[in-house]
Structure 1
Amino acid sequence: MYRAILTAAAIGLATLAHAETKVPQSQAEISLGFAPLVKTAAPAVVNIYAKRVVNVRESPFMGDPFFQNLFRDFAEPRPRVENSLGSGVILSEDGIVVSNYHVVGQSTDIRVHLNDRREYAAEVLLADQEADLAILKLKDAEDMPFLTLRDSDTVEVGELVLAIGNPFGVGQTVSSGIVSGLARSGTATGNARGYFLQTDAPINPGNSGGALIDINGALIGVNTSILTRSGGSNGIGFAIPSSLVGQFVEQAREGRSAFARPWAGMFGQPVDADMAEGLGLDRPGGIVVSELHEESPFRAAGFAPGDVILEVDGEPVNTPAEMIFRMSVAGIGQEAEVLALRDGDTGVTPVAMMAAPEKPARNTTTTGRRSAVPEMVISNINPAVLGQYGLPLSLTGVVIENPGPVGARMGLRPGDVLRGIDGAEIATVKDAERALTRANRKITVEIQRGTQRIVSRFRL
C-alpha cells in the first residue's frame, strides 16, 4: 500500500516536471502558482535610475526652529544632484516605456535596467506632473519584451492581480493581490490627482512606475502611490488606469512633449443626497453644472447651469476628477457622448473634446532691468491660463507665471493674479509693464491668490 502511494506520487511529480509552461487560464491552474505568468510578464518590467540637478539654498540657520524660516531665502542657491529609483513598463518592441513623473520628471540622466542585465539610456518624450505619468524612449532599443494594454474599464473588483517592481531597490519583486476598488479619486498621495484603481497587492517605495497586471499578463495599471502611516505597505495602493496610459503613449508618438487634456470650461459639484431629491434623482450621482465659460465646448453643445452630467461615453461620472479622466481617455479632437439630466429629462449630447483656447493671446512677457521687479514672467489670462493654474472661470487680467528672483523674495508666486500696482489697475501685460517701470523705491502690489486679495508694500 505504502509503495503504491509512493509510486503514484512519483508518477505525479514526473507529469508535473514535463508539464508545459504557460500563462494560467483557469482557477485550477492559478492554484498551482503564478510562475508561468511571471516568466511571461516580468521581462517587460524595468528598473529606472534617474539623476537630476536642483538648486538648494543651504542657510546656516537650517534646523533652528525660529530663524530657519526667517532667513531661508537669503542663502546662495547651490546645485545638488538628486537620485531617484523606481520602475517602468516597456509597452512596445521599439522601447517605449511608461513610468511615474516623480521618478523621472526633470531628470538629466536616466538609465534603464532590464531583468536580463541589459542597460539602456533613455530620454523623456512626454511628462505630466498632475497625472504623475511619463513616457520614455530607450535609445537604440529593438525587439524589446513588452506588455499589452487592457481596457481598464473592463476591470472588476475582486480580480486577481500581480504588482511587479523594484521595492526599496532590492531588485525585481512580484506581489499578488486583488483589485479592491475602482474609481478612486482624490485619494492618492504626491502630485497625482485624478482617478485610480485600488489594490491590496503590496506596493512599497521603488514600486512606483511598475506594472499592475491581470492573470493574462496584460497591463491594467501603473503603480503610483500608497496610503501609509509607517512608510511601508498597508494594503492600500493605487494604480493609474491603463486607458489613460494609452492616451499618453498616443500623444507621445504624435510628438507632444506635454500632455494635452480636453478642456471642459466648466465648474460643477458632485450631487449629494439632498441635491438628488431636489433634482428628481432616485439616488445621488453625477455632477451639477454651476458655471460655464463663454468659450466652453459644453456651452457650445447647449449645456447650461443646473444641468446634471451623469455619464461620459457610457461611464458614470460622480466627481470632477472622474469627468476629467473620462474626457482625457476620449482624447483631443474626438467627440464624447455625454448623458445629462435637464428639466427632468435625460438625453445624450455629443461634445467636442478640445484643448483650452489661447484666446486672447497670452502675450507672455519677461520684465526688463528697468522694471521694479525684473525677470518676472507675466501673461494675459485666457482659457488656457485658467486651466493651467485652476483659476476661476470669470477671472481676467494678468497672471504671474514666474515671479523671478526679486518677485520671489517679495513673496509672489506662480499663479498669482496682478490686480494693482501703486494704485493703478492692471488689466493687461502692457499695464503691468508700465506700472512697474514707473515705480520708485517703494511699491504697493495688490494680488489675488485663490479667493484672497493681498495688498503688500515693499521697499526696493
Structure 2
Amino acid sequence: MIRLTLAALSLALASVVAADTKVPTSQLEIQLGFAPLVKEAAPAVVNIYAKRVVETRQSPFQGDPFFQNLFRDFGTARPQVQNSLGSGVILSGDGIVVSNYHVVGMATDIRVVLNDRREFAARVLLGDQQSDLAILQLIDAPRDMPHLTLRDSDTVNVGELVLAIGNPFGVGQTVSSGIVSGLARSGTAAGAGQGYFLQTDAPINPGNSGGALIDINGDLIGINTRILTRSGGSNGIGFAIPTNLVAQFMTQAAAGNDSFMRPWAGASGQSVDADMAESLGMDRPGGIMISGLHEASPLRTVGLAPGDVILAVDGQPVNTGSEMIFRMSVAGLGSEADLTVLQNGQEKILSVALTPPPEVPARDTVTTGRRSAIPEMTLSNINPAVIAEARLPLGATGVIVQDPGQIGGRVGLRRGDILRAVNGDETPDTKSAERALRKAGSRITLAVERGGQQILMRFRL
C-alpha cells in the first residue's frame, strides 16, 4: 500500500489556519475580481475520470413487480463498463488528492488530469461511502505538485465569499462564485453522503463533485459534494464537506487505514424541540436527548443515561446525531472529547474517550458450503462494530446476513436481514446457524427480522 509521508501530512495539517478576511475597500480592489485568486488556486484542482467493470444480467422478467425479484439472478452475466466523471483537489506536493467516494469508489481505473493537461494514474488509499470522501495517491507524480492549504472550517462564517472550482458536465475546469449560505447542515444532502455540511449558493453541478470550495484567500474550506434540487440543475443550494473532516481522513490514510474509522457513541437520541426544552427547564431548544445506550457505550461509562441531553462537543453546539458524530470524528480516534451535558437539571462537562466500536463478540463470519440448504450465504455475529456498519438498532443481537448468495437472493433474503431461526431451531450465532442450515431438509422455514419486522419465509428447494 502506498502511504502518505509524514512530511506531506505535516505540511497539509499544519496549514489548517484561520483566514484573515475582509471586504473590498476601494473601486480598484473591486475591479481586480477573482482572477489572481483563480490563477493561484486552479492548478491544484483536477479532473478525475474513473471506470469500473460490473456484471449485469439481462432478464426477461425485468420490470415485472413479482418475478423480477424472484428471478433477479436469471440470465447470463455480462461485463459492463461504468464511467464516472468528477473533480478532486491536490492536498500535498507529493500528489495526495481528495475527492468524493461516489466519484472513485470501487473504480478499477482512475485517471487524474491536471489543469495543465498532464495525466496521472491514481489509486484509492482510503474511502468511505458514508462520508462520501476518498483519499487518492497519484502514481509516478513529481514531488512539487501544486496544492491547496486547508483552513479550519470551524472559522468559516455565513456570508463569506467563496469560489467553487471543478469540472461540471465534463466541459472543462470552471469557476463559479457565491457565498457561504449556511453552516451545520446535516441530513440535507441527497445520496450516500451523510453528516455535516457547509452550504453555499455557488453553483455546484454534476462533475463539480470532489472539487474545491475556497475562500477569498485561496484556502480550501470544503469539498463540493452535492446539490439540493428538484429539477436536476443547480438551484442555489449546494453542499461541501468541511476541511476539518478531510484532515482526519488524511491522518488515517497516513496511518495505513484503507477505510475510515469513526468514534463510536453507542447511543440513540432525538433533537430537543421547544416542548422538550420547556419540560427540561431549558431557556431555548438545543442539543440531543439520549433515548438509548448500548451496554458497551463509552457514554454510559462516563455516567450518561437515557434522558440526559448532550448540548455540545468540544464547545461546539450539536443538535443532531450527525453533528455529534462529525464533532467526535474531527476530534479523532484515540483522543478525548469534552461533552457539555444537561443532567438532572445541572449543566456539566464530561470527558469521553473516543474509540472505535468493539468487536465483541467476535464476528466469526462464515460462508455456507455446498451441503447447506442455502449455499454460498455469508453470515456474521452481530456486535457493536456490525451494528455501526449495518446501522442496526442498538439492541440488535444474533446473526446478520452479509451476503445472501445466489440461492438466498432467489428465496427473498436480503443483505442486512437478521436470521432468527431455521425450521424452528434458534440461531443465536453463526455456528448454530450453519448447523441448522446443514441439517435442514427440502422444506425450509426461516424466521427473519428485517427493519424491525418479523418475517417467516417458507419455501421448498
Cα distance in 2 for residues equivalent to 1:191 and 1:202: 20
Q: Which amino acid aligns with 1:89?
A: V
Query: Which residue does 1:96 correspond to in 2?
Result: 96
CA shift in 2, pair 1:70/1:364, >3 Å: closer
Runs (5+) with no aligned partner, structure 2: 1-19
What is the alpha-carbon root mean square deviation over aligned residues?
Answer: 1.5
Amino acid at match of 1:450: G
Residue number in structure 2 paired with 1:126: 126
> Post-superposition, which runs of at least 4 consecutive aligned residues in structure 1 deviate over 6 A?
64-67
Q: Could you tell me how far 1:284 is from its partner in structure 2?
A: 0.9
Q: Distance in 2 between matches of 1:229 and 1:265?
A: 35
Q: Partner amino acid for 1:322?
A: E
Equivalent residue number for residue 11 of structure 2: none
The within-5 A match list for 1:333-348 is 333-348=334-349
**Cα distance, 1:67 vs structure 2:** 6.2
* Structure 1 unpaired stretches of 5+: 1-22
Take 2:70 and 2:379, find their aligned partners in 1: how far apart are those partners? 27
What corresponds to 1:390 in structure 2? Answer: 391
- Distance across 2 between alignment mates of 1:429 and 1:65: 33
User: Which one-letter code corresponds to 2:335 in the other structure?
Assistant: Q
Are the aligned partners of 2:71 and 2:410 in contact in 1 as well (CA < 8 Å)? Answer: no
Structure 2 equivalent of residue 435 of structure 1: 436
Contact preservation (8 Å) 2:181, 2:201: yes
Distance 1:25 1:234 in 2: 27
1:162 counterpart residue number: 163
Q: How many angstroms apart in 1 are the aligned matches of 2:432 and 2:65?
A: 41
SS in 2 for 1:326: helix
Conserved? CA contact 2:73–2:406, under 8 Å: no
Tell me, in whole angstroms, the C-alpha distance in 2 between the residues paired with 1:128 and 1:169: 24
Residue in 2 that maps onto 1:211: 212
3-state SS of paired residue (1:102):
helix
For residues 77-134 of structure 1, give each alpha carbon's deviation from its aligned partner in whole angstroms, at most 9, with x where no partner exists.
Answer: 2211101100000000000000001100000000000011111000000000111110
Counterpart of 2:3 in structure 1 is none
Distance apart, 1:60 and its partner CA? 3.2
Structure 2 partner of 1:147:
148
- Quickly say closer, same or farther: Cα 1:397–1:331, change in 2 above 3 A: same
TM-score normalised by structure 1 residue count? 0.93
Shift of residue 26, structure 1, vs aligned partner: 4.9
Rate the CA distance shift 1:24–1:340 in 2: closer, same or farther, 3 A: closer
Shift of 1:344: 0.8
Please give the alpha-carbon distance, in whole angstroms, between the structure 2 residues aligned to 1:64 and 1:254: 48
User: Could you report, residue by residue, the CA deviation over 1:210-250 in whole angstroms, capped at 9, with x for unpaired residues?
Assistant: 00000011111101011112211111111111111111111
Instruction: Map 1:280-319 onto structure 2 (within 5 A).
Output: 280-319=281-320
Query: Residue 241 of structure 1 aligns with which residue?
Result: 242
Contact kept, 8 Å, 1:25 with 1:216, in 2: the verdict is no
Give the aligned partner of residue 273 of structure 1.
274
The structure whose Rg is larger is 1
Which amino acid counterpart does residue 54 of structure 1 have in structure 2?
V
- Supply the distance in 1 between the matched residues of 2:438 and 2:65 (Cα, whole angstroms): 39
Where does residue 196 of structure 2 map in the other structure? 195
Partner of 1:44: 44
C-alpha distance in 1, partners of 2:320/2:216?
30
* Partner Cα separation in structure 1 for residue 21 and residue 156 of structure 2: 18
The residue that corresponds to 1:14 in the other structure is: none
Q: What number of residue pairs does the alignment pair up?
A: 438
141-150 or 55-64, larger mean C-alpha shift:
55-64
Equivalent residue of 1:187, what SS?
coil
1-structure distance, mates of 2:180, 2:345? 36
- Percent identical pairs in the alignment equals 71
Matched-pair contact (CA < 8 Å) for 1:125–1:135: yes
Query: Bigger shift: 161-170 or 224-233?
Result: 224-233
1:71 CA drift (Å): 4.5
Q: For residue 119 of structure 1, what is the amino acid of its counterpart?
A: E
In structure 2, give the amino acid aligned to 1:241. Answer: P
CA contact (8 A) 1:161 1:177 kept: yes
Q: CA 1:30–1:297 in structure 2 vs 1: closer, same or farther (change >3 Å)?
A: farther
Question: How far apart are the structure 1 equivalents of 2:350 and 2:76?
Answer: 56
The residue identity in structure 1 corresponding to 2:171 is: V
Shift in Å, 1:286: 0.3
* 2:70–2:412 contact (8 Å) kept in structure 1: no
Contact 2:69 2:410 in 1 (8 A): no
Once the two structures are TM-superposed, the CA of residue 64 in structure 1 deviates from its matched residue by: 6.6
CA contact (8 A) 2:70 2:411 kept: no
2:114 counterpart letter in structure 1: L
C-alpha distance in structure 2 between counterparts of 1:404 and 1:327, whole Å: 36
| Separation in structure 2 between the aligned mates of residue 406 and residue 65 of structure 1, nearest angstrom | 19
Rounded to whole Å, the distance in 2 between the matches of 1:78 and 1:374 is 23
TM-score by length of 2: 0.93
